[in-house]
């Protein structure tokens, strides 16, 4: 418990001393009339004046104390709000009698949130600052902040105590501001294209819309189990059946699978479905979407990502089977022969699950030898039907589907296809998935009879796509772990959390 810390106890005692002196250490009255960035922008002209101050300008700013330099009759402090950092000058003779020596110097500390009134001036070192005429404590922080020069660098602490990470690392706040902008811009882009934003259930009677292991919950009122959404796809396509022609949902999905640099059990994506379009149309709208994001985020089209540079003007397309040879270096005579693929993978010391079909083995080859080499945006097309249970077959080659996945910086960013709208074909594919599940594939799709029923009423030719928002934000902010773009990523319980759960 934090209250057992001796430094916390000292700060609690100071909070009590403030109360005893008539100051509320948790005031709810704030008169702030400007933010720090606005103060700095509006008063930048003072630096060019001969008299570098303006006592006729009056401002009230609020923020957290990040630095204190206490001196005899005057002190400097740095305070920070969401918009930036500002230096304030606090002089004994400008404050009520006794406040500077008895309250400010003794009871106010780094981490506290204060309100300061005063006028702008430029210090001898040329820094635009606020000369305080009045200072008020708004919130007493009883937990001391980490040492200022190193901040919060431990990844474990940063993820578990994101609030502390945000206090200490302004760059982290910028990452999440970018994330918020990406979501907002995504919404506006699709609305401007005529798409309707909708909401679909997050608790499903059948896990569907993707090959993934679901989380299971229980609905007490109905007395039945439900599955947290792994994808909204099947519900969104029901809406296309119902007559909507362009819908999208910015959705939270849940998949009960491993965690690594690009996977979190809950994640955000956008899925959109577009009647009377094909996956080729989705390739074009995806290019437009990226152009829109880069323009509105003021990003260069050549973007650094770790030691790579991604050229977002260089979108290319290549069929999956072709990529195995031209990019992956796998001999062409191997790529369409199940036994040769198994032998090849084993020769590379890559374990192969038993009973994989040809399409699944081709997918294994792609994962091992192609994916990480796709740096610039690349649309991989023509996926085998065996690994695309919801995609429409190609009319020219029924063994492949009208599908693409978009890869950037060696990882999947989007998945799209011309939707399967033949109810009989969809039923047979579901049956095949059920057989795979019975054979031990716990990520295989289950039979969804209601979805088959909906298709039987006729779904217009439709194209649908999902884009992973988390991975997209990683690319745009040069972050290399999904945990760095999730405010509160999933974490293994620490000891006291495990103990609490056992007691329950």
CATH of domain 2-145: 2.40.50.140
pLDDT tens for residues 163-186? 999 999 999 999 999 999 999 999
For residue 418, how far is the Cα from the chain centroid?
27
Spell out the alpha helix ranges (H) of 348-392: 358-369
**DSSP code per residue over 297-349:** TT--SEEEETTEEEETT--EEEEHHHHHHHTT---HHHHT-HHHHHHHHHHTT
**pLDDT given for residue 152 in this prediction:** 67
Q: CB–CB of 257/476 below 8 Å? A: no
pLDDT tens for residues 296-324? 999 999 999 999 999 999 999 999 999 99
What is the spatial order of strands in the sheet that 216-219 belongs to? 203-204, 224-228, 216-219
**pLDDT given for residue 205 in this prediction:** 86
**pLDDT given for residue 439 in this prediction:** 67
Cα separation, 40 vs 323, whole angstroms: 54
pLDDT tens for residues 258-277? 889 999 999 999 999 999 99
**pLDDT given for residue 502 in this prediction:** 47
Cα separation, 164 vs 39, whole angstroms: 26
For residue 132, count CB atoms less than 10 angstroms from its CB and return exposed for 0-12, middle for 13-18, buried for 19 or more.
buried
Give percent above pLDDT 90 in the chain: 81
- Kindly tell me if the per-residue pLDDT of 497 is higher than 80: no
pLDDT tens for residues 421-439? 999 988 988 887 777 777 6
**Residue 424: Cβ within 10 Å count:** 10
- Sorted by where each begins, the domain ranges of the chain are 2-145, 168-328+370-503
Spatial CA neighbour of 198 closest among 128, 245, 137: 245
Confidence class of residue 492 from pLDDT cuts 50, 70 and 90? confident
In this prediction, residues 135-144 reach a mean pLDDT of 96
Give the fold, CATH level 3, of 168-328+370-503.
BirA Bifunctional Protein; domain 2 (3.30.930)
**pLDDT given for residue 494 in this prediction:** 77
Q: CB–CB of 175/45 below 8 Å? A: no
- Kindly tell me if the per-residue pLDDT of 23 is higher than 70: yes
**pLDDT given for residue 434 in this prediction:** 78
For residue 29, count CB atoms less than 10 angstroms from its CB and return exposed for 0-12, middle for 13-18, buried for 19 or more.
exposed
- Kindly tell me if the per-residue pLDDT of 151 is higher than 70: no
Cα separation, 234 vs 33, whole angstroms: 50
User: For residue 465, what are its two tokens?
Assistant: 């796509």
pLDDT tens for residues 222-241? 899 999 999 999 999 999 99
Give percent above pLDDT 70 in the chain: 95
pTM of the model: 0.89
In this prediction, residues 15-21 reach a mean pLDDT of 94
User: For residue 31, what are its two tokens?
Assistant: 């008169």
pLDDT tens for residues 362-395? 999 999 999 999 999 999 999 999 998 888 999 9
């Amino acid at each position: 418990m934090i209250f057992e810390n001796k430094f916390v106890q000292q700060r609690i005692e100071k909070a009590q001393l403030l109360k005893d002196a008539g100051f509320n250490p948790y005031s709810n009255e704030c008169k702030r009339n400007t933010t720090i960035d606005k103060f700095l922008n509006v008063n930048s002209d003072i630096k060019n004046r001969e008299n570098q101050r303006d006592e006729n300008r009056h401002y009230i700013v609020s923020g957290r104390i990040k630095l204190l330099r206490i001196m005899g009759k005057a002190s400097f402090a740095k305070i920070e709000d969401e918009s930036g950092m500002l230096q304030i000058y606090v002089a004994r003779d400008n404050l009520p009698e006794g406040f500077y020596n008895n309250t400010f110097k003794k009871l106010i500390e780094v981490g506290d949130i204060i309100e300061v009134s005063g006028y702008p001036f430029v210090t001898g070192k040329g820094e635009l600052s606020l000369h305080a005429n009045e200072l008020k404590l708004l919130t007493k922080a009883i937990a001391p902040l980490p040492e200022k020069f190193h901040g919060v660098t431990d990844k474990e602490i940063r993820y578990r105590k994101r609030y502390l990470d945000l206090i200490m690392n302004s760059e982290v706040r910028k990452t999440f501001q970018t994330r918020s902008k990406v979501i907002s811009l995504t919404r506006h882009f699709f609305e401007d294209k005529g798409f309707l934003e909708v909401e679909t259930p997050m608790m499903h009677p059948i896990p569907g819309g993707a090959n993934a292991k679901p989380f299971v919950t229980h609905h007490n009122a109905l007395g039945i189990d439900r599955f947290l959404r792994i994808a909204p796809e099947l519900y969104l396509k029901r809406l296309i059946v119902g007559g909507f022609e362009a819908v999208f949902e910015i959705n939270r999905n849940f998949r009960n699978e491993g965690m690594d640099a690009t996977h979190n059990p809950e994640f955000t994506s956008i899925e959109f479905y577009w009647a009377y379009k094909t996956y080729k149309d989705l390739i074009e709208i995806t290019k437009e979407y990226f152009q829109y994001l880069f323009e509105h985020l003021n990003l260069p089209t050549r973007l650094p990502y770790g030691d790579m540079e991604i050229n977002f003007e260089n979108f290319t397309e290549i069929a999956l089977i072709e990529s195995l040879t031209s990019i992956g270096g796998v001999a062409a005579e191997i790529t369409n022969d199940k036994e040769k693929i198994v032998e090849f993978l084993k020769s590379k010391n890559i374990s192969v699950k038993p009973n994989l079909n040809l399409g699944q083995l081709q997918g294994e080859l792609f994962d091992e030898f192609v994916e990480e080499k796709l740096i610039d945006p690349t649309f991989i097309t023509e996926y085998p039907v065996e690994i695309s249970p919801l995609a429409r077959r190609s009319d020219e080659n029924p063994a492949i589907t009208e599908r693409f996945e978009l890869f950037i910086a060696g990882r999947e960013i989007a998945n799209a296809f011309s939707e399967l709208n033949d109810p009989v074909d969809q039923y047979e594919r579901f049956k095949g998935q059920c057989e795979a599940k019975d054979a031990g594939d716990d990520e295989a799709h289950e039979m969804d009879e209601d979805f088959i029923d909906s298709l039987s009423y006729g779904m217009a030719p439709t194209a649908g796509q999902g884009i992973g928002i988390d991975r997209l934000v990683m690319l745009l902010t040069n972050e290399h772990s999904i945990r760095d773009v999730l405010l509160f990523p999933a974490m293994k319980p620490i000891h006291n959390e495990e103990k609490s759960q056992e007691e329950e």
